[in-house]
Structure 1
Amino acid sequence: MTFDIIIIGGGVVGASIAYFLTKNAASDLKVAVVEKDSSYQYGSTARSAGGIRHQFSTPENIRISQFGTEFLRNITEHLSTDGTKVDVSYNEGGYLFLASNQNIPILYNNNTIQRRENVDVALMDPDDLSRAFPWMNVGDLAGGSLGLSGEGWLDAYGLNQAFRKKAIQQGATFLKEEALSLEMDGIKVTAINLSESGTVKAGTFINAAGARADEVAKWAGIDLDVRSRKRYVYSFSCRTEIPDCPLTVDPSGVYFRPEGHQFISGCSPEADNDPDCTDFEVDYGWFEEHIWPVLANRVPAFEAIKMENAWAGHYAYNLLDQNVVLGPHPEVTNFVFANGFSGHGLQQAPAVGRAISELVLDGKYSTLDLNVFNFERMLTGKAVKEINVV
């Protein structure tokens, strides 16, 4: 069995790449996606919080998400397979970043960059916050930044499946089996060894393996500083109505947003308490100790909440700068990377799928110039740092 292009990983990023390759290439291009989890329930995509935002400090990240928003607004036009509506429950509920006194300069500096990039965002002082969100305690806040349009959340699993179905309709092959190793001829990848199909050859290989990206890179003798880091998402209910609630990010880093009649919440741990991890066990004590006190302080009604559910997922965490690694390896040039999203893979999947298809088919970016995220920076240590409010 031989293909022109093999994508390792069938999560939302791999499926998006397959969609754009089969959409933009000649009809005889043979594209395969290797994904062992046929249910797609244990990858990073299905277990994410499903957010998309434009409030970044790096222009390229902003532009990536702006394309993602436009793609989602017109998703039926792009991904319908039979003319019926594609529904991924996209809700432009907005992101609200809250800031303490010490982080106000960052908030304002980021706002300058965002406005330059035509982000629809508003700065708010404590009085503005109190009027807009009367359910919120603003006594310890210095301000906030609210996305007025283009930001929100969606059904991550639904988007993954929509990309997959459309890619298959356009000619992509999805192989439900495990990738075991790569075969090399000098500095060129020539084949992949699969659990059922054995050795499968191709001309180009794309690493979209999410939290397993570093393992796949090692098969080609390449060190990739991307690691699997566990994140918890907690679902809870509140008897008091919290109207017009955006996805709110507290200065502590704790976030919460509505999910139907309930809410979800989580928080990334400090760097010294964030080991490499691949299991799915949930620490309920983390919620009791680190999250609930913050929620109760920010929203007094959250003092009386009921835990409904919780789950764990994984970030493909880029140790250098928590930004995506895109493009071919500088030496193993037929091995292309789309890894290290550090929690932003879902929102960046549409633009990254398009970008990787351009690199593979045309040898260069023809829409968004994303060279700033190239693999070379992983070798030189030239980080692309995102300046966060929290």
Structure 2
Amino acid sequence: MATYDAVIIGGAIVGSSVAYYLREEGFSGSIALIDRDPQFARAATTLSCASIRQQFSIPENIRLSQFTLGLFRRLKEEFGPDADIGFRENGYLILSSDEGLPVLKANHVAQQAEGADIVIEDAETLVRRFPWLSPEGIVAGAFGRSGEGWFDAHAYLQIFRRALRTKNIDFVNAAVTGIEREGNRVSAVLLDNGERLESGAIVNAAGPNAGKVSAMAGIALPVEPRKRSVFVFEARDKFSDMPLIVDPSGIYVRPEGAVYITGGAEQEEGEAAADPEDFEPDWPLFEETIWPVIATRVPAFEAIKATRAWAGHYDYNTLDQNAVIGPHSDVQNFIFANGFSGHGLQQAPAVGRAIAELIVHGGYRTIDCSAFGYERIAAGRPYRELNVI
């Protein structure tokens, strides 16, 4: 039996960020970082599209991503001269039909209030900016002129993991099978290798598995895995100025080196939780739904060649598609960093800092994450993010 001051369940980007910022905030206690997939072959972190945006509908989400953007700007300063994630700052272009225009404009007001470099342009202006774009069915779009784009998720995670090797963190390769609870405190984590880790605090950073981990402590958390397929295709035309385009249908496309990636055809309404073992791409989505949409939006994509695909899982918050951050209302030493619903990769450093501040200082100092607290979950009171991609 081992005893730790903090046990973090989930060692991908969210859990690694929590561990990193605990040390940065001066936490001197012992830390265990648990992950059942040490190669991160099935992690939401490494199977994501690795993008960052400020185009959210609520200010707290904008601030979380702006924190990470600031980290990107000073990456070499913080992690050393070799720290490079290949950040491609081509922006997001979120397109709108006439029906969706009021929401696009309302979101833009929130983004402007937070200083995001987003402009709304009508269809004619967008076509002048991007001559390869078809305006069919759209009236306007919100374009991120700076501070948005994509990056290398593997490099991003490894930068944090390497940094942790110098910070006296115990890496534990195992699956969590149980959590012991004594009244209003969790006291230990049980592992599939037979070990029992006593802990002063437990941080749930288990990604798509977070709902099951919470249930082990007798705590309800509406987070479940939802499968998302990503398709890679080749096209004759190369558009170096292409942002990540989000069609009004929700389907997205963006460049990735010499190829393109696309996805977003899943329908959330009525969608069931994914089988945790199902990582097979849903090819019919590409053939029947995605290709017609992207060929309409970018006519050059009428002739393309699909080459490969992969699937990963979102940690989907069924209540409001927003993160759950901070302690449980009653079990104060059980702390959530969950439910990001597709934007956890870009917000992980900010959440890591927030959780670390909470543990070390007893409250938030950099970004107030109170709006994401568990109290709204317990009350069934959604705080809904409208820009879920």
- Provide the TM-score with structure 2 as the length reference: 0.97
- Find out whether 1:352 has 2:351 as its counterpart: yes
Residue of structure 1 in register with 2:9 after alignment: 8
For 2:65, the aligned partner's letter is S
The equivalent residue for 2:42 is 42
8 Å CA contact retained: 1:234, 1:310: yes
- CA distance in 1: counterparts of 2:273 and 2:90, whole angstroms: 32
Select 2:227's aligned residue among 221, 227, 230: 230
Corresponding residue of 2:98 = 101
CA shift at 1:273, angstroms? 4.9
1:301-357 Cα deviation digits (max 9, x unpaired)? 101111111000000000110000000101111000000000011011010000000
Question: After alignment, is 179-188 or 316-325 more displaced?
Answer: 179-188
CA deviation after TM superposition for structure 1 residue 240, in Å: 1.5
Instruction: Work out the CA distance in 2 between the residues paired with 1:57 and 1:272.
Output: 20
The answer to whether 1:59 aligns with 2:46 is: no
Residue 273 (structure 2) aligns with: 276
User: Secondary structure of the residue that 2:231 maps to in structure 1?
Assistant: strand
Answer whether contact 1:10 1:34 (CA < 8 A) is retained.
Answer: yes
Query: What secondary structure sits across from 2:178 in the alignment?
Result: strand
Deviations 1:17-61, CA, capped at 9 Å, x for gaps: 1100112124x3211100011111111110000011001110011
Residues 342, 388 of structure 2: 8 Å contact kept? no
| Corresponding residue number in structure 1 for 2:260 | 263
CA apart distance, 1:268: 4.6
Give 1:361 shift: 0.9
In structure 2, how many angstroms separate the alpha carbons of the residues matched to 1:346 and 1:129? 29
Distance in 1 between residues matched to 2:217 and 2:230, nearest whole Å = 34
Cross-structure match for 1:139: 136
| Cα deviations by residue, 1:125-146 (Å, 9 ceiling, x for unpaired) | 1111111111111132101110
Q: Distance in 1 between matches of 2:86 and 2:230?
A: 19
TM-aligned CA deviation for residue 103 of structure 1: 1.0
Matches within 5 A, 1:314-325: 314-325=313-324
Once residues 356 and 387 of structure 2 are traced to their aligned partners in structure 1, the CA distance between those partners, rounded to angstroms, is 30
Q: What percent identity do the matched residue pairs reach? A: 45
Q: Report the alpha carbon displacement of residue 63 of structure 1 after superposing the two structures with TM.
A: 0.7
Q: Report deviation, 1:283.
A: 1.4
1:207 aligns with 2:204: yes
Q: Distance in 1 between matches of 2:352 and 2:292?
A: 39
Residue 299 of structure 2 is aligned to residue 297 of structure 1 = no
Higher mean displacement: 293-302 or 188-197:
188-197
List structure 1 runs of 4+ shifted beyond 6 angstroms.
none
The residue number in structure 1 matching 2:285 is 286
Structure 1 alignment gaps of length 5 or more: none
Aligned pairs, how many?
386
- For 1:55 and 1:271, locate their aligned partners in 2 and report how far apart those are by CA, in whole Å: 20
Task: Give me the whole-angstrom Cα distance separating, in 2, the residues matched to 1:111 and 1:265.
Answer: 24
Q: Is the 8 A contact 1:106 1:389 kept in 2?
A: no
Q: Is the 8 A contact 2:92 2:143 kept in 1?
A: yes
Q: Match of 1:91?
A: 88
* Per-residue Cα deviation, 1:54-104 (whole angstroms, up to 9, x for no partner): 011100111111111011111122223xxx320111111100001111111
The answer to whether the 8 A contact 1:106-1:388 is kept is no
Given that 2:254 and 2:260 are in contact with CA atoms closer than 8 Å, whether structure 1 keeps it comes out as yes
RMSD over aligned Cα, in angstroms?
Answer: 1.3
The corresponding residue for 1:154 is: 151
**Alpha-carbon shift at residue 208 of structure 1 (Å):** 0.2
Corresponding residue number in structure 1 for 2:22: 21
SS of the aligned residue for 2:218 comes to coil
Aligned to 1:76: 76
> In the aligned structure 2, how far is the partner of 1:194 from the partner of 1:246?
44
Query: What is the deviation of 1:107?
Result: 1.3
Counterpart secondary structure, 1:271:
coil
Alignment CA distance shift 1:130-1:157 (3 Å): same
The separation in 2 between residues aligned to 1:7 and 1:35, in whole angstroms, is 9
In 2, Cα distance between equivalents of 1:239 and 1:205: 51
Deviation at 1:197, TM superposition (A): 5.8
Residue 128 (str. 1) matches residue 125 (str. 2): yes
Question: Are the aligned partners of 1:104 and 1:143 in contact in 2 as well (CA < 8 Å)?
Answer: yes
Give, in angstroms, the shift of residue 233 of structure 1.
0.5
Q: Comparing 157-166 with 203-212, which one deviates more in the overlay?
A: 157-166
Asked whether the equivalents of residues 97 and 389 of structure 1 are also in contact (C-alpha less than 8 Å), the reply is: no
Q: Give secondary structure in 2 for the equivalent of 1:308.
A: strand
Query: Equivalent of 1:119, from 116, 120, 136?
Result: 116
Between 1:33-42 and 1:165-174, the stretch displaced more is 165-174
Letter in 1 for 2:12: G
The answer as to whether partners of 2:321 and 2:340 remain within 8 angstroms in 1 is yes
The farther-off stretch of 107-116 and 96-105 is: 107-116
